[in-house]
Structure 1
């Protein structure tokens, strides 16, 4: 909902405390804006629109109304050329969250935001294209509660209007001013200037100025006149006369502040207009064909599920639903203040410190949390890396070392067991663990080292969850003399797909026979198998393929049973699906009901900073023990276990686990389920799913956890397919839905968080359905 419009500068005025002169400073600024915009424009507006104001003074919430709205706060009296509007009033002169309860008029944050936006939109429309200015005066201090009880800074973060901070010029005001300033910066607000009243007794402004960032200017204005000793209250004729004289005396300062604020806005608009074309000539984007890319979308900020992007054609901002979860990293949404505070704390406490043979509290705390969640019951060690690719690279080194050690092999050429369409990263080892595909075919050094199975997959189509079997499986069934009815799977709901009782089915036997035959032939042909590596349940970059969990479980059990004395190490690459992407810390453990020996996590682990981990059993750790350093795991990077990432990950896990508890508590049948009957959640739900899946243009959909994938019906399959380009472009437009999606060949995918509101999910589904119908 963040609002940027080139023709309408908007600022929000916060203060360091109550009773520091926020309203007077706001009136000064509006008078200055009135003067800068000029009387010629006012006359032109009157002629063209019938209105005589290009300045809006908006007060969203006013308590103590009308008694506490004394003449010093009467903007019409002291600034007659502006439009003044108050949205919500309470009679009790107290904090809004208290008065709302007392007067039984509690208004939600969303409702208040909608009223604010409606007022601004109406004012913007009334300008008729002329330049205007809008000032929004908040209530109380930066962290004063709103009507709902949330913090004011968090409510207004949705808009991210530039902030004019009115500092406290009294004793103790330095601390409150700088604390307020830092709180705003930490939440992502721009603070172009601080305004303070001159107080020679304390001169707070001198210390405050020296501690502001270089892009924040401090203005001082004379203090307003005190109440005359002959007056008993504000609002007397003498006081009104004094205040009129005061406002007249600060006209020059008012104009200076207004010019600065308006110039800052103009600079911001120029900056965002320049970003797109400058980026084309200077940046090199991953997974992007620059030969066909001529523009870049300018992201000004992000919050919750949304990007705020600046549209240079419209010269204003738009809100886009981030359906790629900013490339799969979002667990709790953008701009989460809890994660921001965690990052700030660790950065302030540590910066960065070396990790080998050292420990800092965030690193050990995170290790404990990981072993209590994703690694519970099997893992004992945590190895830190910087991203998903290096996490899997390390996992392969671990697995191969264990295999080499337990079989007393001397420099063997080990291969992996995996699945076609897998993607484990872009480093050399990770690439070699995948079958030859579009992601590794450019790399001259790539040599595929593995035996890969074509995965059986699951889709929702015509109201049924259908397992699609590879041709090699159906051929094997015919060899056994089995009819198609014996192995066909078409189930009513997601839970049935994950039911462990399917292990007793004919299809389970067929999977096992297929696996045993394939691996046996591979070993006869000289393959030395060193590890199984899979992306449990959902294969991301391969096309959001929902792998039949029965097949995954049979595969894990089969490779282990081939040598029960020295079983092959099993790696779960949960870089994408882990940390509650599918509703669980470990999708593999919770949904496949088998534990790995090694597992990798990243992306949702922190949500905001690069960080990855590889978890391992103690037996894997023991394979590297010895008397010489050269026997150790020789892998690392300078920012290993950086404190900022560790601290953020700890907080992220806490938030994600708390959301999991809410889901469990909301599920009536959860208490009656056994450990092998996990409740499989999906935030993408409702009748629209079946309607989308039933379209002839759709081969099937995958609704799982926070992910929805739609496979378009086309002869051109895979990552190189252009089948989804048109709908992707349409969805990104304002008319098409304001949804930022990225294609995966002929697959379109959408990601939410565990906190995305249900009504927002339905809005996105409705827009997607409408676009698909047009392509039908």
Structure 2
């Protein structure tokens, strides 16, 4: 990940095109830095063409009398003067067996490793320049565009503009490409070509955007005589890097130094400014004791944050791991694995370029447009995809857009309650006393209506009024290597169980709902639910008008893995108990409208596109969010069957679904969602997923992919953790890993899981296995729910990263 040193100022040099003078201007920067007394490191990661004209050789040759202060290096060198990806391929085709084309990660690791080596050799304040090849989108050795290959390193950038014909356009386009990927562009440099005079246009253009522009005289034309050419070139460098050390290139050096100092100051002051200004969600500020407790995120890429660790150099911080953080030769930024997938939103990693481009595409075409009685392609395509080919296939007819999971659930509740009132002809007074049926531990969001659909708990507020009834559900877990269902006391008593734990043979059998429907336990569930509902009717209270479930896993309630058999039987009972019409068409709700809150579990968070096929039954209403947009922008979609939609149809405006948001069907969100779903569809068929399924012994049948239980977490690791004395139970499903710590106090207010895992927050210097892109040891950013620690992967987290995270978790719990 990103590297930042107090006394080593680093800038990466990109070019707006090939042959724009990138090496010439970089050589000038190197020479000027050395003239100012700095030790200078120059790196050309990839060089193609003969050695005598290589860029690193040019930099050393024309450092002049400052040559001893310059360290120039190249990591990958190829003979053919062509694009790096082609040069590597040609070298292989020519039979050079030692040539191995590195992956993007290996390439980034090599660059990062060299930078860290240079930092360790520093004896005085230093400058470093990393020069790329060709234009910003020229491919690296793997064929990936440079912008994406270098992005995990997140080095501040100098863009060399194009001073020739067409250079205005290529310079602006390159600048915008850098911004789309989040790069910090500290300066733009280009030649003052007196014929095309691009600098006259570009200087004010970028000045209006707050970007510093430096213009320099162009070099002389190349002389046919080699010795004469070297002499002329040397005189040119003496001209643009004058002994007076003023103006031109020295202004550029000063500006880059100022940018570096400003970045350091911002990172240093952000904790205090945050504590003075920000009110965090789900954080007790009274427990935040110092500025060192503020996690400062400088950037993010893939599965990792890049966080500032400079505060740990103070003795009071006493870091448990990275003991060298106070050293000026150690990066002030460290990688930190995003262990909660940023509150369950991340699907394909942070700052994914395809999603950023999708957002820009829609922002440029639409911005935002109001949606009532209108349409636009991003929204229409997304609705069609979700309803006809996605989780709504076979039962949904409509998609309603909102802005996040909580409001999506508010919409779902409005739909369900209206459908019930219309069907039963309730008057206005009766409508005020409707309630929902759900499960204890459920959570549907923080808006008032969503909170009212849950029993009173830690997330509710002063206005909360629980409206309904919540079953205490049986749960699934792995204990000492065995899958088991734990029954709540009332169910255990009814089942006549000696204890509350029922051995279900295996995890695969536990989630084989169709087979378990024929077991005695299913009959026990049915009898318990029917008896409870009958008593509820007899006691009065709110009229139950909808069943609301978080299928399979109740996330915020403590990663509660509900027995799927119980949820299936509950659905079957409410559809039979409250309806005289059986069987029903898939599009016609019966008994109670059934809502699936798939905000957390949907769209492959559990390795399944939807939980409905595993449960063997469809909802009447379902909500998707979070993964929907890959974690880039907020968006939620509430899907409904036609019978739900018809409850709002009439000639009266007041009968419409009068719910909406200014940003309903936000084009940017819809376009990003379409791009996300397209990427996920491809991932679902990729080899990495097949390998993970195979490890969990998933049958190789097409149907198994929709119903099988499997995980990206290693089954042997899960089994081993379940045997640890300090662990009560473990569950893994799809991207989710949940570990419940043994704690007599237990519950949400416990700090046991937080304390047990404290050591994984920072990277271990001696840890050679756990490394992030860039090769650095990483810490893990994690959240706990009382005595439950949970971790999540993205849908494309590399297997070796998952194994590294497992190693850190294992060490922390075991020790």
Contact 1:72–1:243 at 8 Å: present in 2 too? no
Matched, 1:75 2:60: yes
Contact 1:584–1:660 at 8 Å: present in 2 too? no
Q: Which of 621, 630, 635 is matched with 1:611 structurally?
A: 635
* In 1, Cα distance between equivalents of 2:269 and 2:705: 55
Contact 1:192–1:215 at 8 Å: present in 2 too? no
Q: Who is 2:591 aligned against?
A: 567
Contact 2:511–2:614 at 8 Å: present in 1 too? no
Q: Secondary structure at the match of 1:630?
A: helix
Q: Who is 2:390 aligned against?
A: 373
Q: Who is 2:86 aligned against?
A: 98
Q: Who is 1:680 aligned against?
A: 709
Q: Who is 1:601 aligned against?
A: 624
Matched, 1:237 2:255: no
How far did 1:680 drift? 2.6
Contact 2:10–2:127 at 8 Å: present in 1 too? yes
Q: Who is 1:47 aligned against?
A: none
Matched, 1:150 2:144: yes
Q: Which of 750, 771, 775 is matched with 2:812 structurally?
A: 771
* In 2, Cα distance between equivalents of 1:161 and 1:63: 23
5 Å matches for 1:313-712?
313=311, 314=325, 316-371=332-387, 372-411=389-428, 412=430, 413-440=433-460, 443-478=461-496, 488-494=502-508, 496-526=510-540, 527-562=542-577, 563-565=579-581, 566-586=590-610, 588-606=611-629, 607-662=631-686, 671-672=700-701, 674=703, 678-712=707-741
Contact 1:418–1:533 at 8 Å: present in 2 too? yes
Q: Who is 1:62 aligned against?
A: 47
Q: Who is 1:49 aligned against?
A: none
Q: Secondary structure at the match of 2:511?
A: helix
* In 2, Cα distance between equivalents of 1:282 and 1:673: 53
Contact 1:728–1:743 at 8 Å: present in 2 too? no
Q: Who is 1:265 aligned against?
A: 260
How far did 1:208 drift? 2.2
Q: Secondary structure at the match of 2:308?
A: strand
Contact 1:532–1:568 at 8 Å: present in 2 too? yes
Matched, 1:749 2:790: yes
CA 1:484 to 1:714, structure 2 compared with 1: closer, same or farther past 3 Å?
closer
Q: Who is 1:50 aligned against?
A: none
Deviation track 1:509-536 (CA, whole Å, cap 9, x = no partner) reads 1111111111111111114110000100
Q: Which of 118, 121, 125 is matched with 1:131 structurally?
A: 125
How far did 1:590 drift? 2.8
How far did 1:689 drift? 1.8
How far did 1:634 drift? 1.0
Matched, 1:88 2:102: no
Contact 1:68–1:93 at 8 Å: present in 2 too? no
Ranges in structure 2 where 5+ consecutive residues have no aligned partner: 93-98, 312-324, 327-331, 582-589, 768-777
Could you state the TM-score of these two structures normalised by the residue count of structure 1?
A: 0.93
How far did 1:67 drift? 4.5
The count of corresponding residues between Structure 1 and Structure 2 is 746
Q: Who is 2:755 aligned against?
A: 726
CA 1:23 to 1:675, structure 2 compared with 1: closer, same or farther past 3 Å?
closer
How far did 1:265 drift? 0.5
CA 1:211 to 1:500, structure 2 compared with 1: closer, same or farther past 3 Å?
farther
How far did 1:365 drift? 1.1
Contact 1:728–1:742 at 8 Å: present in 2 too? no
CA 1:568 to 1:77, structure 2 compared with 1: closer, same or farther past 3 Å?
same
Q: Who is 2:163 aligned against?
A: 169
Q: Who is 1:19 aligned against?
A: 19
Contact 2:546–2:594 at 8 Å: present in 1 too? yes
Q: Secondary structure at the match of 2:11?
A: strand
Contact 1:18–1:141 at 8 Å: present in 2 too? yes
Q: Secondary structure at the match of 1:661?
A: coil
Q: Secondary structure at the match of 1:438?
A: coil
Contact 1:417–1:533 at 8 Å: present in 2 too? yes
Contact 1:499–1:676 at 8 Å: present in 2 too? no
Q: Who is 2:239 aligned against?
A: 249
- Bigger CA drift: 157-166 or 665-674? 665-674
Contact 1:417–1:451 at 8 Å: present in 2 too? yes
Q: Secondary structure at the match of 1:211?
A: helix
Q: Who is 2:279 aligned against?
A: 284
Ranges in structure 1 where 5+ consecutive residues have no aligned partner: 43-53
Deviation track 1:674-721 (CA, whole Å, cap 9, x = no partner) reads 479723331111422222111111111110110101100101222111
Matched, 1:195 2:181: no
* In 2, Cα distance between equivalents of 1:137 and 1:258: 16
How far did 1:730 drift? 2.2
* In 1, Cα distance between equivalents of 2:705 and 2:714: 23
How far did 1:451 drift? 1.2
* In 2, Cα distance between equivalents of 1:747 and 1:292: 19
Q: Secondary structure at the match of 2:686?
A: helix
* In 2, Cα distance between equivalents of 1:189 and 1:510: 60
Q: Secondary structure at the match of 2:148?
A: helix
Deviation track 1:247-269 (CA, whole Å, cap 9, x = no partner) reads 01011422111111111100111
* In 2, Cα distance between equivalents of 1:534 and 1:627: 33
* In 2, Cα distance between equivalents of 1:456 and 1:65: 70
Deviation track 1:548-607 (CA, whole Å, cap 9, x = no partner) reads 111111111111111143421000001111121112222x21321210000011111111
How far did 1:739 drift? 0.4
Deviation track 1:488-525 (CA, whole Å, cap 9, x = no partner) reads 22333446533421111111111111111111111111
Q: Secondary structure at the match of 1:342?
A: helix
Contact 1:71–1:240 at 8 Å: present in 2 too? no
Q: Who is 1:51 aligned against?
A: none
How far did 1:68 drift? 3.7
Deviation track 1:352-388 (CA, whole Å, cap 9, x = no partner) reads 1111111111111111111120111111111111111
Q: Secondary structure at the match of 1:702?
A: strand
* In 2, Cα distance between equivalents of 1:728 and 1:352: 43
